[in-house]
Amino acid sequence: QCLYQFLAFVPPSNGSLTKPGTASVMVDTQHPLTLVLNSSVGDRELCKVQYHFGEFGNYSLVVKTLNASTKTVSCVVTINERPINSYLPILFAFLVYNGIFTVLIVVRLFMKIDPVRNWVYKKLNPRETDRLINSELGSPNTTDSINCDPAPHSWSTASRQRLHSLDTFRGLSLVIMVFVNYGGGKYWFFKHESWNGLTVADLVFPWFVFIMGTSIALSLSSMLRWGSSKWKVLRKILWRSFLLILLGIIVVNPNYCLGPLSWDNLRIPGVLQRLGLTYLVVAALELLFTRAESGTWEGRYPALQDILPYWPQWIFILMLEVVWLCLTLLLPVPDCPRGYLGPGGIGDFGNYPNCTGGAAGYIDRLLLGEKHIYQHPSSSVIYQTTMPYDPEGILGTINSIVMAFLGLQAGKITLFYKDQHKQIMIRFVIWSIVMGIISAILTKCSKEEGFIPINKNLWSISYVTTTGCFAFILLSLVYYLVDVKKFWSGAPFFYPGMNSILVYIGHEVFEDYFPFKWKMQDSQSHAEHLTQNLTATTLWVIISYLLYRRRIFWKI
């Protein structure tokens, strides 16, 4: 439903058959395009062609007059040069990383063989070999001299009992987020969707919010169990929220590209700001109703023991969602239809050019001011919007709280069904199915035609339920592989998951510094962009591994 945009004027051929009128243009290859040829006299539509052009292909739209008297023409797309296979760099990168992981696995297996391990230690440090074997590593005959668990032996029992699946899940989300923020190889599916819809890039932030909620349930339960008072825990919650918001505004602020920050152009919302506010609300809500001991609930419905004791929390969350629905669908917005969820610009046939985001955009502009929100939203790429719009705005924070609350529910499941792996995974799958059903109803299983479409910019409730559905499934899979069967240690994602704040802030601050970025020979090459972005992401994984080995963790 976009307005047609002028592409080119084709000059007349003046009756010449050897030198027809021509015009050269560059077109988008992400979406199928509809090309309309209009007569320069009377603006009459002559023909219409829909075609999905391939990347770096060379095409001709050949226009011929079939009948001069009736002014009928034919339009045919011909291929001059076939488009390239732009996905080959992804295949090559996959093979390279697969080879690296295979070598590491083989090395780890060889290191479990006593003679090989002892020979390696002897070569690395011959003077200390005997002492290492007899003290830190144990005798060569001990079965646990090398543990495939990533946690060092000297750590406490409580540390070893930490759910590695949570850190692995967090690290996976963070690694994808870093890769996406660095450019994602300039592939469209590693960029945020312009408006409605879902790409890989749109999954990672809600997953990070989700696992933050899971961690809240476990950490608050642990602190209270070890004797911390609720007032002391509340002070920690307030302090951590304040630091996250402060870091987001001062350190990780996109308006630095405009020069030194000033109040005139300071962006107030942001990723860390939203994390801080979401953490504050969900952690305080959980602290208010949590118990130091999570024994079996003795109510009428033991199958709902992780839900019914906390009915006030659910009422609060449902009330928040009602507020979001009422403001989004019922708030009057000047010069916009009530309940408008579109991108504005040339979308919806250009009828509402200044209505980007509907009520969500209006509230941000009204309360924060146009200069204090994000100036280049993803909607400007396709829909040519001119209004500033912030995807981390005020109204969307309500649904990020809902997302974190779903993660909190996952944490409660692991607490109430501790060591009952089958029950935990069944609950995760049930929650995933419930979220999927809600998403199907809200969206009518379509991208554009549902009651409430999936939309990352709006953080629509269907976006939350859909990404929540995927989060429960992914967490159950990681939990099974890492903590139940121990088929996988969680590496390499486990390491950035243990230092998530440092990695996130670091990758933002050093984004334009070598070796995370360098001048490319061909800025249009997927291969070069992918190489640069994967190199930068891998470096942060290596940095987090080295920090982990030195037991350096930046906690807020």
Greater pLDDT, 66 or 426:
426
Is 526 annotated in the active site? no
Q: How many CB atoms lie within 10 A of CB 494?
A: 25
- What's the mean pLDDT when you consider all of the chain? 87
Give residue 155's pLDDT.
37
Exposure of 446 by Cβ count < 10 A (0-12 exposed, 13-18 middle, 19+ buried)?
Answer: exposed
Give residue 375's pLDDT.
87
pTM for this predicted structure: 0.88
Longest dimension (CA), the chain: 100
Q: ω into residue 515 within 30 of 0, thus cis?
A: yes
Which own/partner contact pairs does 142-147 have at CB distance under 8 Å and 24+ positions apart?
145/114, 145/117, 146/111, 146/112, 146/117
- Please, which pLDDT band fits residue 291 given cuts at 50, 70 and 90? low
Domain boundaries along the sequence of the chain: 1-84, 164-173+197-292+304-482
Give residue 111's pLDDT.
82
- 47: three-class secondary structure by DSSP: strand
β partners of residue 67: 72
Give residue 151's pLDDT.
42
Instruction: Say which range, 149-163, 252-266, 283-297, has the weakest mean pLDDT.
Output: 149-163
Distance of CA 20 to the CA centre of its chain: 49
What is the average pLDDT across 163-189? 94
- 143: three-class secondary structure by DSSP: coil
Given a cut of 80, whether residue 300 has pLDDT beyond it is: no
Greater pLDDT, 280 or 301:
280
Give residue 148's pLDDT.
39
**How do residues 456-488 score in pLDDT, each as one tens digit?**
999 999 999 999 999 999 999 999 999 999 998
At residue 291, what is the residue type? R
Give residue 136's pLDDT.
40
Catalytic residue, chosen from 192, 372, 507, 529, is 192
CA–CA separation, 283 and 219 (whole Å): 10
Closest by alpha carbon to 4, among 45, 36, 40, 31? 36
Residues 6+ apart with CB under 8 A from 233: 220, 223, 224, 287
DSSP secondary structure of 454-511: -BTTTT-HHHHHHHHHHHHHHHHHHHIIIIIS-----TTTHHHHHTHHHHHHHHHHTT
**How do residues 106-122 score in pLDDT, each as one tens digit?**
888 888 888 877 887 77
Give residue 466's pLDDT.
97
DSSP secondary structure of 51-94: E-PPTT-EEEEEEEEEETTTTEEEEEEEEEEPPP-TTHHHHHHH
